[in-house]
C-alpha cells in the first residue's frame, strides 16, 4: 500500500503552535500539503498572545522543505484564518479545528468568564472556521473537517463543566455538519484525543505522558482528512496507540401506549426495560426516534398484555 499523500491540498490547522496541532502540521507538510499554521500564542488558560508559537512551526516545516504560512488570529475570527489559506494558496481542502484552552474550576466556583471563554474558543472558534471554509468546500464539492472533542465532553470530568459542555457541543456540531455536507463530499468527523501536551502535563504523571506522544494521534487524523476517506459524522478516540470509534447506544426501551395509562408508576414498574442494553440499538438520526414514536402511537389498547390501572395513584408514585 502506498503512503497517504496530500499533494496540492491546503490544510488549515488551528492552535498549531504546539501539542497535537503542531504534530498534524508537520505530518501534512511532510506529505505534500501546504499548511496554514494558526496559533494565537497565548497561555493554556487563554491569556496573552504571541506570534512565536506559529512562527516556530512554520520555520520547522520550511527548513524541512515543506510549505507553510503562519496565522496569528484567534479562532473566534476564523474567517481571517481561512482568508490566509485563500490568499496564500488559493484554496482550502482540510480544516482541523484543534485550538483549545482550559479554565478548570469546580462548578461551585465557576465564573461567567471561565464559562464564556471556553465556549468562545472551542465552540464559536470551530464554528467560525468551518463557516468560513464551507462555501469553498461546497463550491469545489470536496472538504474534510476534523473537530476536536474530548473524553471530558463524552463522559464528564471533575472541574470541567465548561470544557465538557463545549466539547460535547462539538460532537453535535460535527454530526449535523456531516449530514449537511454529505451530498457535497464534505466529510466531518470528531476526535477525542489523549496526548502529552502543555494542557496535560500538570494533570498526568510523567511516565504516562511518555507513552502519549501527540504523534500517535496523527495517523487517525491523516486517514479521516484524506480524500479517499468515507467516514462522515463519526466519533473516534485516539491516544497512546489506541484508536476506536464510539457511537450512541439506546437501550431496547419501553414502549407503552401514549394514553392516560402512561403514568410515572407505569414506567417505574418496567424501569429495567428502560435501562436494559441487552438488545441495544445504535441510532444515527432524529428519524430513529420519530419512528419509535410512530410505533408507540399505533399500539392497541392492551398491547402490553396486561391492564395498567394507575388511576388515582399518579399523585403518589
Ligand atoms: P496545546 O495547549 O498544546 O494546544 C492548543 C493550542 O491552541 C495552543 O498552542 C494555543 O496557543 C492554541 N490556542 C488557544 N486558544 C486559541 C485561539 N483562541 N485561537 C487560536 N489558537 C488558540 O494542547 P493540546 O493538548 O495539543 O490540545 C489540542 C486540542 O486537543 C484542544 O482542543 C484540546 O482541548 C484537545 N484535547 C487534548 C487532549 C490531550 O490529552 N492533550 C485531551 C482531549 C482533548
pLDDT at 311: 39
Whether the complex's predicted ipTM is more than 0.90 is answered with yes
pLDDT band of residue 296 (cuts 50, 70, 90) is low
Does residue 187 carry a pLDDT above 60? yes
Q: Is 147 in the pocket of ligand 1 (CB under 6 A)?
A: no
42 in contact with ligand 1, CB cutoff 6 A: yes
Contacts by residues 53-58 (CB-CB < 8 Å, ≥ 24 positions apart):
53/17, 53/18, 54/16, 54/17, 56/17, 57/16, 57/17, 57/22, 57/25, 57/26
pLDDT for residue 308: 37
Of the residues 6, 167, 227, 313, only one is catalytic, namely 167
Say yes or no: CB of residue 253 within 6 Å of ligand 1: no
Rounded Cα distance, 53 and 15, in Å: 9
**Predicted TM-score of the model (pTM):** 0.93
Does ligand 1 lie within 6 Å of residue 38's CB atom?
yes
Exactly one of 6, 24, 127, 163 is catalytic; which is it?
163
Cell of residue 15, nine digits: 492552535
Q: What percent of the chain has pLDDT over 90?
A: 82
Looking at per-residue pLDDT, the higher value among 68 and 291 belongs to 68
* Helices and strands: H and E segment counts in the chain: 12, 8
* Over residues 92-104, mean pLDDT: 98
* DSSP secondary structure string for all residues of 259-278: STT--HHHHHHTHHHHT--T
**Does ligand 1 have an atom closer than 6 angstroms to the CB of 213?**
no
Q: Does 136 participate in catalysis according to the annotation? A: no
- pLDDT for 314 beyond 70: no
Cell numbers placing 139? 463550491
Mean pLDDT of 198-219: 91
DSSP state, residue 108: G
Atom of ligand 1 nearest to the CA of 39: 21
Instruction: Band the pLDDT of 297: cuts 50, 70, 90.
Output: low
Distance 74 CA to ligand 1 centre (A): 12
The yes-or-no answer on residue 45 being catalytic is no
In this predicted model, what pLDDT tens digit does every residue of 18-55 receive, in sequence order?
A: 999 999 999 999 999 999 999 999 999 999 999 999 99
- Which residue's CA is minimally distant from atom 41 of ligand 1? 195
Range scoring the smallest mean pLDDT among 116-120, 151-155, 169-173, 282-286: 282-286
- Which tens digits make up the pLDDT trace of 215-257? 999 999 999 999 999 999 999 999 999 999 999 999 989 888 8
Q: Which of 58, 81, 199 to mutate to test the pocket of ligand 1 (most atoms within 8 A of CB)?
A: 199
pLDDT band at 317 (very low <50, low <70, confident <90, very high): very low
25 CA → ligand 1 middle, Å: 14
Amino acid at each position: 500500500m502506498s503512503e497517504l499523500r496530500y499533494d496540492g491540498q491546503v490544510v488549515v490547522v488551528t492552535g498549531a503552535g504546539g501539542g497535537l496541532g503542531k504534530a498534524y502540521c508537520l505530518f501534512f507538510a511532510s506529505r505534500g500539503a501546504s499548511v496554514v499554521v494558526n496559533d494565537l500564542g497565548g497561555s493554556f488558560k487563554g491569556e496573552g498572545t504571541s506570534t512565536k508559537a506559529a512562527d516556530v512551526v512554520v520555520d520547522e516545516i520550511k527548513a524541512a522543505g515543506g510549505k507553510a504560512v503562519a496565522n496569528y488570529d484567534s479562532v473566534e475570527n476564523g474567517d481571517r484564518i481561512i482568508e490566509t489559506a485563500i490568499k496564500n494558496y488559493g484554496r482550502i481542502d482540510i480544516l482541523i479545528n484543534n485550538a483549545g484552552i482550559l479554565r478548570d474550576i469546580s462548578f461551585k466556583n465557576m465564573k461567567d468568564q471561565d464559562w464564556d471563554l471556553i465556549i468562545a474558543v472551542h465552540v464559536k472558534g470551530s464554528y467560525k472556521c468551518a463557516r468560513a471554509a464551507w462555501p469553498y468546500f461546497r463550491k469545489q464539492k470536496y472538504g474534510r473537517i476534523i473537530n476536536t472533542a474530548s473524553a471530558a465532553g463524552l463522559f464528564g470530568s471533575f472541574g470541567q463543566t465548561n470544557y465538557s459542555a463545549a466539547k460535547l457541543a462539538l460532537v453535535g456540531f460535527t454530526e449535523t455538519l456531516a449530514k449537511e455536507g454529505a451530498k457535497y463530499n464534505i466529510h466531518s468527523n470528531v476526535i477525542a484525543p489523549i496526548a502529552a501536551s502543555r494542557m496535560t502535563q500538570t494533570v498526568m504523571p510523567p511516565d504516562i505522558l511518555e507513552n502519549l506522544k501527540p504523534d500517535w494521534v496523527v495517523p487517525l487524523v491523516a486517514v479521516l482528512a484524506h480524500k479517499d476517506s468515507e467516514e462522515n459524522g463519526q466519533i473516534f478516540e485516539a491516544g497512546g496507540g489506541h484508536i476506536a470509534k464510539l457511537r450512541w447506544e439506546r437501550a431496547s426501551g419501553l414502549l407503552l401506549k401514549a394514553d392516560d395509562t402512561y403514568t410515572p408508576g407505569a414506567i417505574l414498574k418496567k424501569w429495567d426495560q428502560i435501562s436494559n442494553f441487552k438488545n441495544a440499538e445504535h441510532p444515527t438520526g432524529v428519524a430513529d426516534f420519530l419512528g419509535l414514536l410512530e410505533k408507540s402511537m399505533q399500539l392497541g389498547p392492551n398491547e402490553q398484555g396486561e391492564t395498567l390501572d394507575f388511576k388515582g395513584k399518579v399523585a403518589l408514585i
